[in-house]
Amino acid sequence: MMKKMAIQLVFIIVIIAYLIYHNFNLQNINGVIITIMIGLWVLATVMMVTLDRSKRS
């Protein structure tokens, strides 16, 4: 469980760090990079949930 929380935390820290780098100015943020980061985050979360469910059954 702790490993899953750490992975989620890393994604959140990376996204926040990217926003801080651009001073939270949403006009300067590259939408492609943000979309890829959020997509990877969602993919990792879905994979963790799927693995968890497959181990239980």
> How do residues 18-27 score in pLDDT, each as one tens digit?
888 877 776 7
Nearest residue to 8 via CA among 38, 51, 50: 38
- pLDDT tens-place string over residues 26-55: 676 777 887 888 888 889 889 988 988 888
pTM recorded for the entire structure: 0.64
Q: How many Å apart are CA 27 and CA 31, to the nearest integer?
A: 9
Cα four-point dihedral sign 16, 18, 24, 26: negative
Give strand ranges (E) for 5-57.
none
Nearest residue to 19 via CA among 40, 27, 44, 8: 27
